[in-house]
Structure 1
Amino acid sequence: MKMFKPWSRLALVSVMTASLLAACSGNTGTGTGNTESPKGTETPKGTETPKGTESPKPKETVEITIMHYNGAWSEEQTAKVFAEPIMKKYPHIKVKAIGSTGKPLAEELADRVVTGNVPDLIMTTPGVGFETTIRQFKGEYDLTPLIKTFNYDLNQLDPEALKVAQMLSTNKELYSLPIYMSPNTIYYNKAIFDKFGVALPKDGMTWDELYETTKKLTRNENGVQYRGFMLSGFHLMRLNQVSQKMFDSSGEKLAFDTSEYKNYLKDIFRIYDLPGYDMNKVGQGANLNMFLKDQTVAMLEPGGVLLDEKQLSGALGDQWDFTSFPSLKEKPGVGYQPYPFVISMFNTSKHKEEAFQAMAYLTSAEFQAAATKQGSLLPVIKDKSIVATFGQESDFYKGKNVGALLPKQFASVPDEPTSPYRDIAQNELVNIYANVVHGKMEMNQAFREALERADKKIEETKVAKGAK
């Protein structure tokens, strides 16, 4: 099963202006017609059906649609993992999975907005995914009243994952619920470790220990350049383990130029200074191919992706496993900040109560435990003990170190305002990584230029908004 792919920005289309539609709940009442028995057929005394125990009429069947805004998920996967369990739990709710008709998902959704055929529920990342779907088409819907109506317990969710969802609003509305976690782990190729006589990695490594292991594995063998470790630059910068804020209290000024953040990055960037790490010869986004196809990378953090059986078994056979993501020596066991996928309801849904019931079930301990055992997703509930059951019902994960898929503790999500300029900040974080690692720019210069560009873009955005 694949989870993530790099995101693409939607082309700007007409903003959806459909008004909020009232929720439609199923009729659970009993009939009110004439119930008097014909003469001679009266029910004998003592056998009458007690009042209030009459069998209710079956709930009215309604249909809702669910879309996974990630090209790595097929319509069939969305149906199997999410739609079918909802229908089994609630037979009166028919759930149709929506996938791509051959177009990129961005175009698919844009077409649906134009035709008024918008999905009831959509699963996205809490960053660009949410911004270019719910936010761009003004589809926000506050779940708070439905949470109260159905007595939904937010406390069952991982508090840091819930915080990520809460930060999608500036006025304390809750537009989304976290639905599954992105893994924060390292995949490793046993064959490369064996080839160079290096001990297999153990859980609980610090960045210093990973650096020393990487040195032993980074070498040129018969003209083939091997590298010990590669990771996703975006995830490193955005989900950093020191919980660095992106903005100051105004939400309009970048605040990530701090010594703590720079020192954290320097500790990791030194890997790219090892002989053989000429990143100018490595295209951005090439990490996965080097790990699976070329098999010249020993350890990989694939950027929040859960690699599927076809990818791994086809390339590495059984010569792979997980080990925990390295931590800072002063923060043992603390991984990245959580980056869960979220599920949101478009405000145009005609069946809001049923759509929320579906959301509530998909984020319940019952569903999360079952899906974890199947190896379908990583849980967002507070109880992390079920992570150890991941893939129990799949031969593919038998004997694998699945407990390393998530850290013992997530880094805290920083308290900062939800800013309309988050995309600008995130783009500049990636620019810093690329300029330092690929361009070999001095770090302070990379930060300085990034802040200058961001300030300019934010001011241009303000002017453009004011002109409308």
Structure 2
Amino acid sequence: MFKKLGRYILASVLTVSLLAACSGKSGVEPVNTESPKPQESTKPQESTKPQEPVEITIMHYNGVWSEEQTAQVFAEPIMKKYPNIKVKAIGFKGKPVDEELAELAVTGNLPDLIMTTAGLGFDTTIRQYKGEYDLSPLIQQYNYDLDQLDPAALQVVRNLSTNKELYSLPIYMSPNTLYYNKAIFEKFGVAFPKESMTWDDVYDLTKKLTRKENDVQYRGLMISGFHLMRLNQVSQKMFDSTGEKVAFDTPEYKNYLKDIFRIYDLPGYDMDQVGQGANLDLFLKDQTVAMLDAGMLLDEQALADLGDQWDFTSFPSLKDKAGVGYQPYPFVISMFNSSKHKEEAFQAMAYLTSAEFQTEATKQGKLLPVLKDKSIVASFGQDSAFYKGKNVGALLPKQFSPVPDEPSSEYTGIAQTELMNIFVSAVHGRMELNTAFREATERANKQIQEMKAAKGTQ
């Protein structure tokens, strides 16, 4: 099971929120590795070079985004803003996006820009192909204002580096909400979920909705394991102070999980009979799940079978942390160091993270903004009939859980995999939680030592 888990996690990330070496120097020596101070203007300065036509490519590393979506939402607005920049969209063509990226790497055609999750997505793209490029010189050159961005999302991006480089910019937020099926609530005579629920409230609601009728098993709630474990509301660090031993086996973290995992002890939650990653199908197709932590925006096509019988409600919080959701999990946009048009690519990045673009895309219901100005969230979907009457204010929490100040390292992937092993072992395998933590800790630390030993022999 564990050998297959890494691929499962990648698939989960690509569908949730549902998930040849190209080394070389960047070509621009950083003038300062410190992040620049906020500037007054958020608009990039125009380059003094002649505006010659160039072509750049942009890829969305997400298994549910088509090339047409990437072109419509991102490429076309860039070309409208900068007529001299032709933008070719690269997206999902029916095969796994990691395979598509691998083919591009083999032919030496890695994209100029790529949008990924800030965790596993970044690791399996930019980091895997040694494509890191520090944006700091371009941030200074174009007077880009980092202070316009949500500070929590920016911290996630900063944690991708260990030496204060800035490899990415946050481009949009993953939702931090629960979807719910009105029809199931009505079927069982249960009131729709209220705002500002605690996990105790959700547990009580789940008990009322989890039942078997006419040989059909209904469940009150399904949770994204990756988001629960990695973006937990207690801001658990993964490593100790050395960064070379995992340290996620803490009483606070385990008590947090026990409080949520009791849902899986309810009659009807035989998770060993439920396929891993089946949450979406159970909610959208089977329509046997009342509430869903999807971890991503579900578009009109995905929700078509539910008609208008769905809405959002706020994500549950801990009793002593009212209104505090998961840690932020932004998608980020990064530039491969192999790009031959770095200035134009950065202009595109700057525009896609500007208030101008973010406000318009938010109104259209295309994305959740990453800007510090939270008033923009209230306009989500106002230009889209699809979101008319929906509780869009519940898409993001009143406050995110803090992001641990813990830079990403070569061991981060090991720790993330073992967090998911804990979830699968405890929820699907019915393993006692303390045992799941102990075994995951032992496996992770053994793998880290093996990696260190292998480096020593190179």
Secondary structure, aligned partner of 2:12: coil
Among residues 409, 413, 428, which one is paired with 2:399 in the alignment?
409
Q: Deviations over 1:393-421 (max 9, x none)?
A: 11111000011111111100011232211
With over 3 angstroms needed to count, the CA separation of the structure-2 counterparts of 1:19 and 1:243, relative to structure 1, is: closer
Tell me by how many angstroms 1:17 deviates.
3.4
State the percentage of identical aligned residues. Answer: 75
What's the counterpart of residue 434 of structure 2? Answer: 444
Among residues 323, 337, 341, which one is paired with 2:313 in the alignment?
323
Among residues 387, 412, 425, which one is paired with 2:377 in the alignment?
387
Among residues 104, 112, 119, which one is paired with 1:112 in the alignment?
104
Say yes or no: does 1:189 pair with 2:195: no
The runs of 4+ residues in structure 1 deviating greater than 3 Å are: 17-23, 25-29, 100-103
Distance of 1:439 and 1:107 partners within structure 2: 30
Structure 2, unmatched stretches of 5+, are: 1-9, 15-19, 30-44
CA contact under 8 A between 1:26 and 1:59: conserved in structure 2?
no
Q: Deviations over 1:126-185 (max 9, x none)?
A: 111111111111111100011111111101101010011111111000000000000111
Secondary structure, aligned partner of 1:201: coil
Tell me by how many angstroms 1:108 deviates.
2.1
With over 3 angstroms needed to count, the CA separation of the structure-2 counterparts of 1:26 and 1:119, relative to structure 1, is: farther
Say yes or no: does 1:74 pair with 2:66: yes
Secondary structure, aligned partner of 2:319: coil
Tell me by how many angstroms 1:291 deviates.
0.9
Say yes or no: does 1:125 pair with 2:117: yes
Distance of 1:202 and 1:7 partners within structure 2: 28
Tell me by how many angstroms 1:28 deviates.
5.0
Tell me by how many angstroms 1:441 deviates.
1.2
Q: Deviations over 1:10-57 (max 9, x none)?
A: xxxx3113553469x99857xxxxxxxxxxxxxxxxxxxxxxxxxxxx
What's the counterpart of residue 463 of structure 1? Answer: 453
CA contact under 8 A between 2:66 and 2:93: conserved in structure 1?
no
Moved more, 99-108 or 423-432: 99-108
TM-score normalised according to structure 1 size: 0.88
What's the counterpart of residue 231 of structure 1? Answer: 223
Secondary structure, aligned partner of 1:445: helix
TM-score normalised according to structure 2 size: 0.90
Say yes or no: does 1:289 pair with 2:281: yes
What's the counterpart of residue 37 of structure 1? Answer: none
Say yes or no: does 1:20 pair with 2:17: no
CA contact under 8 A between 2:46 and 2:142: conserved in structure 1?
no
| TM alignment of 1:24-63, pairs within 5 A | 28=48, 59-63=51-55
What's the counterpart of residue 419 of structure 2? Answer: 429
CA contact under 8 A between 1:250 and 1:417: conserved in structure 2?
no
| TM alignment of 1:29-428, pairs within 5 A | 59-100=51-92, 103-302=95-294, 304-313=295-304, 315-428=305-418
Distance of 1:322 and 1:99 partners within structure 2: 28
Distance of 1:283 and 1:113 partners within structure 2: 33
Tell me by how many angstroms 1:101 deviates.
5.4
Distance of 2:159 and 2:447 partners within structure 1: 22
Letter matched to residue 427 of structure 2: V
CA RMSD of aligned residues (A): 1.8
Distance of 1:440 and 1:105 partners within structure 2: 32
Distance of 2:125 and 2:276 partners within structure 1: 26
What's the counterpart of residue 49 of structure 1? Answer: none
Tell me by how many angstroms 1:103 deviates.
4.0
Secondary structure, aligned partner of 2:232: coil
Structure 1, unmatched stretches of 5+, are: 9-13, 30-57
Q: Deviations over 1:294-315 (max 9, x none)?
A: 111111111x2211111212x1
